[in-house]
Structure 1
Amino acid sequence: MNERIDSWLTDMDGVLIHEGNALPGANEFITALQENNIPYLVLTNNSIFTPRDLSARLEASGLNVPEEHIWTSALATAQFLANQSQSRRAFVVGEAGLTTALYEKGFVMTEQNPDFVVLGETRTYSFEAITKAIRLIDAGARFIATNPDPSSPSAEGKIPATGAVAAMITKATGKNPYYVGKPNPVMIRNGLNKIEAHSEHTAFVGDRMDTDIQSGMEAGLQTHLVLSGSTTRSDITQYPYRPDFVHESIADVAQLVASD
């Protein structure tokens, strides 16, 4: 690498783990960062879990990632909204990862004149909650969603995720949400602020061109695509932008970090 890299951001699923198992090289990558005291964050668009939950899940897969090194779309959304409003009233459709993040920023969860309707991911979307969200948006609440991912994987196949439910609410209200998570570079920039890193000396590792590489590029980071997740080498040519580096897996990136 020609540029000096002082900090690293990395996606989680498809880069470090797959179906609960650590991918080859993931432990070496995290260990190299920690042993060299390199600032880093593990990013995920998943808003269901708290950083503590995700740290425990990563530990179960064999990766030691303290919760302060995890940055979720829920945390990014809470940080973004805390900068947007002083009254901090929100109607939330989501789980503990999102509600906890908002509580920690001083938000009150309410159906009474909320400033925001905040949509996150949940395993069981309530039609009643979606209906309430639609009516509150019609009444003037601003529509925010943690991330645009239309589906999530499960053992039985795809399940609808935030983006799909947001599309239903948009169809009913005519209002598009503001998505905070990837590919919005806001999530990346807030993460950089958290670890006091500068974009020109930070690299981002991801497995998706349309979220990871796009957001990293738009935030001004050096981008590394790994082919261990959802993107194949032939997929790259379908996009009008390119990653700075392409690797077979995080194992290749771990060697770069260890050799710096």
Structure 2
Amino acid sequence: GWNNLGIAATTAMIEEATGRKAFVTGKPSPVMMRSARKFLGLETSETTVIGDTMETDIQGGVQMGYKTILVLSGISSKDTLGHYAFKPDMIASSVDEIKFPLSWWEGK
């Protein structure tokens, strides 16, 4: 699977060179998730995260109280779902399988 060792090494090098600690805002950072939601003008209850990685996309959405859809066409697989203490609200084989409007959008 994918890992971010290259990113961590680059960050450490820049921190050492500048003498400053990095402020990380990538997935699943609450800062990044909240900023994206606010930029779109959405409330928490109106926000759905669609992603292919449990450790970033789905974890970030769950932590923020957003609905989540795991797409199995990427990194995470159905076989590994039992390894996590959190679950997506929906699982789809691909983005094409997601039917819009989503069931939880009704009445909005």
The interval holding the TM-score normalised by the smaller chain is 0.7 to 0.9
Unaligned stretches of 5+ residues in structure 1: 1-148, 152-159
User: TM-score when scaled to structure 1?
Assistant: 0.35
Q: 1:223 aligns to what?
A: 68
User: Whole-Å Cα distance in 2 between the matches of residues 225 and 196 of structure 1?
Assistant: 23
User: TM-score when scaled to structure 2?
Assistant: 0.77
User: What is the SS of the residue equivalent to 2:101?
Assistant: helix
Give how far 1:221 is off: 0.5
User: Whole-Å Cα distance in 1 between the matches of residues 86 and 102 of structure 2?
Assistant: 28
User: Whole-Å Cα distance in 1 between the matches of residues 86 and 40 of structure 2?
Assistant: 27
Q: Does 1:257 align with 2:106?
A: no
User: Whole-Å Cα distance in 1 between the matches of residues 42 and 85 of structure 2?
Assistant: 28
Give how far 1:230 is off: 0.5
The alpha-carbon distance between structure 1 residues 189 and 258, as it changes in their structure 2 partners (threshold 3 A), is closer
User: Whole-Å Cα distance in 1 between the matches of residues 83 and 16 of structure 2?
Assistant: 29
Considering fraction of residues, name the structure with more helix: 2
- For 1:162-201, list aligned pairs within 5 A: 162-169=7-14, 176-201=21-46
User: Whole-Å Cα distance in 1 between the matches of residues 58 and 40 of structure 2?
Assistant: 20
Q: 1:203 aligns to what?
A: 48
User: Whole-Å Cα distance in 1 between the matches of residues 16 and 83 of structure 2?
Assistant: 29
- Structure 1's consecutive aligned runs of 4 or more residues displaced over 4 angstroms after TM superposition are 168-176
The alpha-carbon distance between structure 1 residues 150 and 196, as it changes in their structure 2 partners (threshold 3 A), is same
Give how far 1:203 is off: 0.9
Higher relative contact order, chain-length normalized (CA < 8 Å, sep 6+): 1
User: Whole-Å Cα distance in 1 between the matches of residues 19 and 75 of structure 2?
Assistant: 32
Give how far 1:200 is off: 1.2
Report percent identity of matched pairs: 34
Could you tell me which amino acid in structure 2 is paired with residue 252 of structure 1?
Answer: E
- For 1:152-167, list aligned pairs within 5 A: 160=6, 162-167=7-12
Residues 10-46 of structure 1: CA deviation (Å, up to 9, x unaligned): xxxxxxxxxxxxxxxxxxxxxxxxxxxxxxxxxxxxx
Unaligned stretches of 5+ residues in structure 2: none
Considering fraction of residues, name the structure with more strand: 1
Give how far 1:219 is off: 1.5
The alpha-carbon distance between structure 1 residues 182 and 250, as it changes in their structure 2 partners (threshold 3 A), is same
Q: 2:79 aligns to what?
A: 234
The alpha-carbon distance between structure 1 residues 167 and 233, as it changes in their structure 2 partners (threshold 3 A), is farther
The alpha-carbon distance between structure 1 residues 243 and 173, as it changes in their structure 2 partners (threshold 3 A), is same
Give how far 1:163 is off: 2.7
Give how far 1:240 is off: 2.0
User: What is the SS of the residue equivalent to 1:240?
Assistant: coil
Q: Does 1:150 align with 2:14?
A: no
Q: Which has the larger radius of gyration?
A: 1
Q: CA RMSD in A?
A: 2.6
